[in-house]
Structure 1
Amino acid sequence: MRIGIVCPYSWDVPGGVQFHIRDLAEHLIALGHEVSVLAPADDGSVLPPYVVSAGRAVPVPYNGSVARLNFGVLSAARTRRWVNEGDFEVLHLHEPAAPSLALLACWAARGPIVATFHTSNPRSRAMMAAYPMLQAALEKISARIAVSEYARRTLVEHLGGDAVVIPNGVDVDFFADAEPKAEWQGGTIGFVGRIDESRKGLQVLMRALPRILRERPGTRLLVAGRGDEQEALAELPEEFRDRVEFLGMVSDEDKARLLRSVDVYVAPNLGGESFGIILVEAMSAGAPVLASDLDAFAQVLDGGSAGQLFRNEDAGDLARAAVELLAHPERREELRGKASRHVRRFDWSTVAADILAVYETVTEGASTVAADERPRALGRLRPRL
């Protein structure tokens, strides 16, 4: 099958949507499909052979974060050319409601379209205001996918219609088979995310850290991600700062090794999450997960049975739960066991099969419509006797 996938966010700045699209594309290619991905990227960026650059992105505040999007006359021309030259059997757009390449591709497309909605935002005034402009494009979509029940709810409440829920995928074995790193083991807490993005919640973890270190003095916090390290430490008393190690941006391989090494993985995110791919990666690696009780996180963690939840933005509750997990290895082992069974539903072998089933449904539907239209068209062309 010839498949075109549109990534709305800059390929140069990794994030959950980009990772999802990358892994989906590579999984489909491994299955023998022809896949091309259109994405924003800076000039000179080293891109995988299946990625086509639509030009440089610009930062735009979006859903409590900063999205790097590409939208304009030049982008529209490049998108139309990619759509026309690709002659795709199915076009898969991600976040078509955002002012991005996905919306441009939706306007340019003529064949079957599948759209995946990632955003969870129960009160998006921007989305509601934009609906009249989006309506014509969204009506062209043949099938809709939401990555979680909360993304589906956002779609239904703001744009109407419905969607099938298919979660983000993870290569479970890649994380499960990673080799732990000795220097990252032994009383360690892990955090992965953009450290200067407030909704990722590192500041809550920093406020919890003094109590954790007083009760478990051998503990260290390992932080992987880009951002201002000094700003992240600003609220942490000087006496505890040497217990925090910043690793900077890490490769996929080192992220997997980090998650395999830590005693507890903490996700203190404040909101705006529709899924929580890092939780699935941590569970795959066997890291006991401690996460804020966001609805999306609770769903990923099977209601709290595959990971422990604490009250969102409550540093005291985070500290109490972290100390309890660090002090009780049997509880951590219990969480590992439940998570290892639960996480298989997110493996790409399952997720990609579900997405392919959607592709096949819309392409078969398009073929049926085309076959039905042909006799009517021939009838109109048949000369009258």
Structure 2
Amino acid sequence: MNVLTTGLGWNEQQPGGLNRYFVDYTNAMKEFGHAELGLVVSEPGVKLHTNLNVANTVTHATGLLSRIRSVRQHTMQALKTFHPDIFNPHFALYASMVSRQSLPDHIPIVTHFHGPWALESKMEEDGKPRIVREARYLLKKQVEQLTYRRSDRFIVLSEYFRDILSNSYGIDHRKIHIIPGAVEHERFKPHQDRGALRQRLGIESGQKLLFCARRIVRRMGIDRLIDAMQAVVQAHPGTRLYIAGDGAMRSDYEAQISRLRLQDYVKMLGRVSNDELVEWYQAADYSVVPTITLEGFGLVTIESMACGTPVFGTPFGGTNEILGRFAPDLLFKDGSAEAMSARIVEALNGRLAIPSREACRQHVLQRYTWSSVAAAVTEVFQDAREMRRKGGAIG
């Protein structure tokens, strides 16, 4: 099938879970045999270095409305030159100007729901006046609902996001298909000489390394993890926490580390490259996912496990679904700093049955591969096309 996809940004310029998913998803669908054309909003005029058929819709510096119009313009052009069988948006805002009437009747809209954009934005605008936050939230949610109203089918990565899509946006459960995310397991894999890698990264012999890769925003719970390190290093002074990522709260968390006198134990790495990310996963003893809300899947969880590294996580959203079905002892009791430190110390004391590094990887290979995702998505596409062909209701 010819699949026209619209995303958010390009992962090389704008790292993040949705953008990483979009790249790997597009590649997987290509390998499965589909012809893919992806449209993303990247830096103005930037040429995307990829062998995938993905275009940057932004040619020059412009405002948000112009960027949305540009995505629509490229979509309309693709109808004439690419002749898509499926329209597959991944971000509501940039698909908002592509109306149902602008597409031929036979082309279904199958939307990937990667999370409640309006609610996520509201939570990350914590410093703004409440009336401003509420107004922006309502406007963004209207955009989302406008876009979702047109969709024939939805793909979500977890039961958690299925429930949000149904309860918050009024989408019929029968339209929603749960297809978990996946990992590029040939890239995310155990290191051949982990000891040498740890030495190169400056990890001393005998040190226990905790690693956290998150966008540095409030809902990710990083402040609680930093707090938890006080009790962890008191019990195990040889433990170190490295945090990769960037975001609005970075300076606040660096100040928190200083205030708690944890500079020797906690280090913020800032943004790391994809290759560096893999190495930190490989080198770590444990990864930590401290997110307190809106964790739709937890791509970092399966990336770490694919590298052989067990993951501790909060019992919320997609993290709960992944770890709860694999090794429930890896879940914190709740999202508090106390719960995090208690479970980590318990593990460092040798009182938890931690899955082996090989067991972590095998769990991912059995359940979270891109070939299985591509096959499942293709079934949804075929079903949506058939319903459009028959002119029947999607449900």
User: TM-score, length-normalised on structure 1?
Assistant: 0.81
Per-residue deviation, 1:103: 2.4
Contact 2:91-2:113 within 8 A present in 1 as well = yes
Matching residue within 143, 150, 160 for 1:150? 160
**1:289 counterpart = 2:311:** yes
Q: Name the structure 2 match of 1:222.
A: 242
Counterpart secondary structure, 1:91: strand
Matching residue within 194, 200, 214 for 2:220? 200
Q: Name the structure 2 match of 1:234.
A: 255
- Aligned equivalents of 1:69, 1:239: Cα separation in 2: 46
Contact 1:103-1:137 within 8 A present in 2 as well = yes
Per-residue deviation, 1:75: 4.2
- Aligned equivalents of 2:349, 2:14: Cα separation in 1: 37
Instruction: Spell out the pairing of 1:64-75 with structure 2 (5 A cutoff).
Output: 72-75=68-71
Q: Name the structure 2 match of 1:187.
A: 208
CA change 1:166–1:242 in 2 (3 A) is same
- Aligned equivalents of 2:333, 2:343: Cα separation in 1: 10
**1:114 counterpart = 2:78:** no
Q: Which amino acid aligns with 2:54?
A: V
- Aligned equivalents of 2:237, 2:314: Cα separation in 1: 23
Q: Which amino acid aligns with 1:193?
A: R
Q: Name the structure 1 match of 2:55.
A: 52
CA change 1:322–1:122 in 2 (3 A) is farther
Instruction: Spell out the pairing of 1:1-385 with structure 2 (5 A cutoff).
Output: 1-9=1-9, 11=11, 12-47=13-48, 48-49=50-51, 50-55=53-58, 72-96=68-92, 100-107=93-100, 108-110=102-104, 111-119=107-115, 138-157=148-167, 158-162=169-173, 163-179=176-192, 180=194, 181-183=197-199, 184=201, 186-195=207-216, 197-227=217-247, 230-236=251-257, 237=259, 239-303=261-325, 305=327, 308-328=330-350, 331-334=353-356, 337=359, 340-341=362-363, 344-368=366-390
CA change 1:84–1:155 in 2 (3 A) is farther
CA change 1:297–1:120 in 2 (3 A) is farther
Counterpart secondary structure, 2:14: coil
Per-residue deviation, 1:139: 4.7
Per-residue deviation, 1:90: 1.3
Aligned residues: 359
- Aligned equivalents of 2:310, 2:140: Cα separation in 1: 41
- Aligned equivalents of 2:280, 2:144: Cα separation in 1: 42
CA change 1:86–1:292 in 2 (3 A) is same
- Aligned equivalents of 1:260, 1:274: Cα separation in 2: 24
Residues 281-315 of structure 1: CA distance to partner in whole angstroms, max 9, x if unpaired? Answer: 11211111111111321112134626611144311
Q: Which amino acid aligns with 1:43?
A: P
Residues 155-192 of structure 1: CA distance to partner in whole angstroms, max 9, x if unpaired? Answer: 11223222011111212343224443223554100011
Q: Which runs of 5+ in 1 are unaligned?
A: 61-67, 371-385
Q: Which amino acid aligns with 2:252?
A: E
Q: Which amino acid aligns with 1:205?
A: L
Q: Which amino acid aligns with 1:29?
A: K
CA change 1:134–1:302 in 2 (3 A) is closer
- Aligned equivalents of 1:329, 1:74: Cα separation in 2: 56
Q: Which amino acid aligns with 2:56?
A: S
Contact 2:212-2:287 within 8 A present in 1 as well = yes
CA change 1:255–1:74 in 2 (3 A) is closer
Which aligned runs of 4 or more in structure 1 are off by greater than 6 angstroms?
121-136
- Aligned equivalents of 1:148, 1:213: Cα separation in 2: 34
- Aligned equivalents of 1:357, 1:173: Cα separation in 2: 25
Contact 1:188-1:263 within 8 A present in 2 as well = yes
CA change 1:262–1:307 in 2 (3 A) is farther
Contact 1:178-1:253 within 8 A present in 2 as well = no
Counterpart secondary structure, 2:111: strand
Residues 73-97 of structure 1: CA distance to partner in whole angstroms, max 9, x if unpaired? Answer: 444333322344321111211143x
- Aligned equivalents of 2:235, 2:82: Cα separation in 1: 59
Q: Which amino acid aligns with 1:2?
A: N
Q: Output the aligned Cα RMSD.
A: 3.4
Per-residue deviation, 1:272: 1.6
Single out whichever of 326-335 and 13-22 deviates more from structure 2.
326-335
Contact 1:76-1:104 within 8 A present in 2 as well = yes
User: TM-score, length-normalised on structure 2?
Assistant: 0.79
CA change 1:290–1:122 in 2 (3 A) is farther
- Aligned equivalents of 2:266, 2:145: Cα separation in 1: 49
CA change 1:54–1:122 in 2 (3 A) is closer
Q: Which amino acid aligns with 2:83?
A: D
CA change 1:109–1:134 in 2 (3 A) is farther
CA change 1:369–1:286 in 2 (3 A) is same
Q: Which amino acid aligns with 1:199?
A: R
Single out whichever of 153-162 and 278-287 deviates more from structure 2.
153-162
Per-residue deviation, 1:71: 5.2
- Aligned equivalents of 2:332, 2:343: Cα separation in 1: 7
Single out whichever of 198-207 and 170-179 deviates more from structure 2.
170-179
Percent identity over paired residues: 22
Counterpart secondary structure, 1:344: helix
Contact 1:200-1:270 within 8 A present in 2 as well = yes
Contact 1:191-1:266 within 8 A present in 2 as well = yes
Per-residue deviation, 1:362: 2.4
- Aligned equivalents of 2:313, 2:307: Cα separation in 1: 16
Per-residue deviation, 1:70: 7.1
Counterpart secondary structure, 1:298: helix
Q: Which runs of 5+ in 2 are unaligned?
A: 121-133
Q: Which amino acid aligns with 2:21?
A: H
Single out whichever of 255-264 and 175-184 deviates more from structure 2.
175-184
- Aligned equivalents of 2:268, 2:141: Cα separation in 1: 42
Q: Which amino acid aligns with 1:27?
A: A
Single out whichever of 20-29 and 178-187 deviates more from structure 2.
178-187
